[in-house]
Structure 1
């Protein structure tokens, strides 16, 4: 099976494009790598863009981009996808630096963009803002979480890292514990987008910087049980939720089947499992997320 190797970018529609661009550049510390009449492209470092912004009436995530391995064949991946009965579209030069792409919808209506990335862009990290390492994961509310989870595993080659009960799945396509989160809440919509920070000290300075610029925390700082990462959540100007995280579990060797041991793990070794619907699964340090966060 040809599997996607990493999340490359996420695309959002927002009512106020300029304000959201300002947030990603001045507050988060991404680089505005290109902008035209239709879209703005923002990057952390090695990719031309990690985030695409387009103007729309309602804030929402419309597309997710995934990268294949350098030796993988995009045509063979398209045939593999079509064999599942999925309608695919081949696009030439659809985005800056991407010459060939296979596009199709997932089971909840989000567009998947799969391609082979060209040579790294060698952009520098910024010197202002939060300055995350990378786009880490995107989470969605789902009407049918079982179906959506099966789609990502069967079509894109994801592996299940953990479940909370039977309604919240955490899926990986590389070493990171999760790249896609799916939570069954009865609706299909964006939940949050997460960017990786260095460590606890980076999270502390990020929270101070956000506070100084008028952004309050929706939830956190804390440590999730599932994935064991440090976390904090806030809202961007468009209303979309951003998570900042560090110390996420990693599975360095799929054959071994356990996540790299850490002192804060409750299991030793920590293997994929079904967690009970318990506060410890969400936050080992304290409270569950506020109701307002789940409704945004």
Structure 2
């Protein structure tokens, strides 16, 4: 696809069995604001983001990634994308219509190559947001999501062909091949990445903080509160962003980050980074070593919602 209708990442939605603990995690510990708090569905906004919400949590018997939502420039872009996807044989869940979730808008949903529900929308009402102050250690916005795939090469090709994502960089192991594809839809180094894993699942979701000091304060606050730190603090090579990863109450991995690299579209050339070089994972050398335990946790549980659209 020569033209990408995707402008940015809006939000990701989770279904979890331990609903109240997940809601408490985001609202009391992670630094998000509950904008609609219900008995079975809660929307969370980031105070610095114009998006109506960056995470939605739904109560369910089975844990799953309900959907990933992306923005489009206008109604015409939404309609053209729906037509192009349908013509290419992609399974549309619904035709473009008025969006019924918080903020409204105009959009539609479809299944990606592995059966995840993807939403693309435009004209969503802008939320009143504010500047995050110095030393305020809460997320400014949602940065990116990473998806596990047993066939990442096919997933990369699918997102390039159908949604116009571009490859920014690759992580490679000399013996096992490519492990990570960092994909962009705008000037950010990546809004999505595809990681090699044993099954389709959410690998992690990442939230941008104001700066280095706020990122370190937020990381320290989470560690002092007793949340299990998987990995970090450190600084990745691909994307040049900082990282600290934590496990949420339902076993999903959440990341604090900052200073994600921006890309000059006309001059950027993707690099291949060797994961056997320690600087690839952590330029600073401050994080704990990546090991089998961290890898297993980031594999997450197999997603039980593939090819099943969420009820909301």
* TM-score under structure 2 length normalisation: 0.84
- What's the counterpart of residue 219 of structure 2? 207
Indicate yes or no: 2:57 matched with 1:53. yes
**1:239 Cα deviation after fit:** 1.4
Q: Could you say which residue in structure 1 is the equivalent of 2:282? A: 283
CA distance in 2, matches of 1:137, 1:224: 14
CA displacement at 1:132 relative to structure 2: 0.7
Is the partner of 2:250 in helix, strand or coil? coil
| Higher mean displacement: 203-212 or 70-79 | 70-79
Q: How does 1:117-128 map to 2 (within 5 A)?
A: 117-124=123-130
Taking structure 1 as reference, are residues 193 and 234 closer, same or farther at Cα in structure 2, changes over 3 Å only? same
Q: Which residue matches 1:62?
A: 66
Matched residue, 1:244: 256
Q: Pairwise mapping of residues 58-207 of structure 1 onto structure 2 (< 5 A)?
A: 58-70=62-74, 72-88=76-92, 89-90=94-95, 91-124=97-130, 130-165=137-172, 166-207=178-219
1:65-85 superposed Cα distances (whole Å, 9 cap, x missing partner)? 000014743211111111221
- 105-114 or 58-67, which deviates more: 58-67
Distance 1:72 1:282, change over 3 A: farther
What residue is the counterpart of 2:11 in the other structure?
9
Alignment partner, residue 265 of structure 1: none
| Aligned-residue offset at 1:27 | 0.9
Return the structure number with greater relative CO, CA threshold 8 A, min gap 6: 2
CA distance in 2, matches of 1:138, 1:9: 9
Matched, 1:255 2:254: no
Secondary structure of the residue aligned to 1:73 is: helix
Q: Structure 1 residue 126: deviation in Å?
A: 8.2
Aligned-pair CA distance for 1:124: 4.2
How far apart, in 1, do the equivalents of 2:100 and 2:154 lie? Answer: 29
C-alpha distance in structure 1 between counterparts of 2:38 and 2:256, whole Å: 28
Which residue of structure 2 lines up, in the alignment, with residue 43 of structure 1?
Answer: 45
- Report the TM-score when normalising by structure 1: 0.88
Partners of 2:99 and 2:7 in 1: how far apart?
21
* Count of matched residue pairs: 282
The correspondence for 1:222, drawn from 222, 225, 234, is: 234
1:5-42 alpha-carbon deviations (Å, 9 max, x no partner): 10001000111212111111111111111134542111
Residue in 2 that maps onto 1:261: none
Is the 8 Å Cα contact of residues 136 and 214 (structure 2) preserved in structure 1?
A: no
The question of whether the paired residues in 2 share the 8 Å contact of 1:194 and 1:243 is answered with yes
Distance 1:273 1:6, change over 3 A: same
Indicate the SS of the match to 1:292. helix
The residue aligned with 2:303 is none
Structure 1 Cα separation of the partners of residues 4 and 260 of structure 2: 25
Any conservation in 2 of the 1:25–1:129 contact (CA below 8 Å)?
A: no
Q: Which residue does 1:266 correspond to in 2?
A: none
Matched residues in 1 for 2:214 and 2:116: separation? Answer: 32
Q: Kindly state the Cα deviation for residue 143 of structure 1 after the two structures are TM-superposed.
A: 1.0
Structure 1 position 240, deviation (Å) = 0.8
1:72-126 Cα deviation digits (max 9, x unpaired):
4321111111122102122533312224321111112211000103341113478
